Amino acid sequence: MHRLFTTAGLALLIAAAASGARAADVENPPVFKASTLLGAQVQGPGYKVAEKVPSDGYVRIYSLQTPWGPVSVRGDHRLQVRFKELAAIDAMEQTSNSKEFGDALVKAGLKPVQFAGKLVTDPVDTVKNTVSGVGNLFNSIGSGIRNRGKTQESAVQSITGAAKQRRLIAYNYGVDPYSQFPPLKQKLDDMSNAAAAGGLVVTGAFIAIPGAAGTVISNVSTAGNLNDMVRDYSAAQLLDMNRASLLKMGVAPAIVDQLLANPNYTPTDMTAMTGALGGMGKLQNLDALLGLAAQVATRDDADFMRWRVELMASYQRQMKVITGFVAIAGVPMPMATTRDNGLLGVFPLDALSWTAGTSHDISAITQAARAQGITGPMKLVITGTATPLAQKQLAKLGWSLQQQAFN
């Protein structure tokens, strides 16, 4: 669902469900009020959420005003991630203006303002000229050589220690060290290079956010040590570990290579997804799920896929009914299969409404699944709620619905 259901696959969905969609009642997706949904969170450090919050039939779409311009966020989960990133940026701004941070730069032989300028114009030489030595790199050299050019950590940052500082800083602020959100990415670059150059002790001088440390991986993940892994291992090392885990699960090598090379996923995403799948037990036809995951073309779709995998892992821990995955003909989103030859869709959907698009999507899945021999019950599990019309039409098509499943 999400964008994967509204772009390339839409024509196939419409063709597959034309007769059912014409007969079904449809509705416009609802519009929400940010103040009602978010309360005090409607405004915070570095942002203000626009009051009008439209939805697309699946997720809510938020508009934020920030010092870096307008930011659009798709989905409740992604919004909370963005709030955390903006809070981290605010704390980093306070840190960079602190006396301890300034003293660290002076220790490196640089003035804060001069250092910031040099980082922008000549980041490689600035760090190279102020680092006095190289730490113990031997345990990561092999991974770095094997994965040269395939990770988000630069060779210079890995050698100078800035990459390690970046991971430590991100861990303390509870954000992904490989975040692609431009303001956070720039701030992490600046501060990690400064910390490496000045020998700054992260836990001593950095202003932290209460309760943030160790929350970069969502709390539905199956492996409790993933936060520590992202902090303690380089991107190249994580790549090696994830590759080995996926191959051990029986995923085709070509799919593993394509998935790990997809730049829309961060090393944190891949570690979370691999850990989640590894905790679900023996699964059939993982290639159907990860073959699609490897093809996502946007950061939004990559985030949606990661969150969906983590939710499925959480559901599997509780219910233990998922046996594998099946590619439904004409539908660009593999579904989970269950022990009773049923079909299960676990999705991070905020506000499911019965739009023309939703009607096409669900009708197509239903018809194709039955045609492919799915004879058991069909169930949709979502993080949010569905409108009364959506509930009615799902029941008519033979689907059971579980709402607010992970609250």
| Residue 11 pLDDT | 38
Look at the block and give the residue holding tokens 């004879």.
375
Predicted local confidence at residue 8, as pLDDT: 38
Q: What is the pLDDT of residues 362-376, one digit of tens each?
A: 998 899 999 999 999
Residue 355, SS3 per DSSP: coil
For every residue of 285-302, DSSP letters joined together read: -HHHHHHHHTT--SHHHH
Is the pLDDT confidence value at 246 over 60? yes
Q: Is the separation of the CB atoms in 65 and 47 below 8 Å? A: yes
Q: Which amino acid is at 197?
A: A
Cα 237 from Cα 240, distance rounded (Å): 5
**Whole-number mean pLDDT of the chain?**
81
What is the C-alpha separation between 176 and 24, in angstroms, rounded?
Answer: 43
The model's pTM = 0.82
| Coil/strand/helix, residue 72 | strand
User: Higher confidence at residue 6 or residue 109?
Assistant: 109
* Predicted local distance difference test score (pLDDT) of residue 118: 44
CA distance 169 to 250: 35
Residue 6 pLDDT greater than 90, yes or no: no
Q: From residue 266, how far is each of 103, 115, 207, 325 by CA, in Å?
A: 33, 28, 25, 24
Judged against a pLDDT cut of 80, whether residue 154 lies above it is answered with no
Per-residue pLDDT at 205: 56
The answer to whether residue 206 scores a pLDDT higher than 90 is: no
d(CA 100, CA 84): 24
Predicted confidence band at 259 (pLDDT cuts at 50, 70, 90)?
A: very high
Query: What distance in Å separates the CA atoms of residue 333 and residue 16, rounded to the nearest whole number?
Result: 15
Q: How confident is the model at residue 103 (pLDDT cuts 50, 70, 90)?
A: confident
Confidence at 121, pLDDT banded by 50, 70, 90: very low
217-228 mean pLDDT = 61
Q: Which range, 65-69, 95-99, 123-127, has the best average confidence (pLDDT)?
A: 65-69
Is 55 in a helix, a strand, or coil?
A: strand
Q: What integer is the mean pLDDT of 23-46?
A: 92
Which band of pLDDT confidence, cut at 50, 70 and 90, is reported for residue 158? low
Indicate whether 388 pLDDT > 70: yes
Measured distance CA(235)–CA(238) in Å, rounded: 5
Residue 358 has pLDDT above 60, yes or no: yes
Phi, psi of 10 (to 5 degrees): -65, -40
- Structural tokens at position 34: 């940010």
Alpha carbon distance, N-terminus to C-terminus of the chain: 21
Say how far apart CA 20 and CA 23 lie, in whole Å: 5
Does 9 score more than 50 pLDDT? Answer: no
Does residue 338 sit in helix, strand or coil? Answer: strand
Nearest 10 degrees: Cα torsion 291, 292, 298, 300: -120
Per-residue pLDDT for 105 more than 80? no
**pLDDT-based confidence at 157, cuts 50/70/90?**
low
**Candidate from 140-144, 192-196, 338-342 with smallest mean pLDDT:** 140-144
Residue-wise DSSP of 318-333: HH--EEEEEPPTT-SS
Q: What is the mean pLDDT of residues 201-226?
A: 58
pLDDT, residue 128, reads 37
Domain boundaries, the chain: 2-28+232-402, 75-205
d(CA 235, CA 265): 12
The enclosing H or E element of 138 equals: helix 138-146
Residue 331, pLDDT above cutoff 80: no
Q: What is the spatial distance between Cα 284 and Cα 303, in angstroms, rounded to a whole number?
A: 23
- Encoded tokens for 100: 């301890």
> Who contacts 290 (Cβ-Cβ below 8 Å, separation ≥6)?
246, 251, 255, 256, 259
pLDDT at 102 (0 to 100): 73
Confidence (pLDDT) at 342: 97
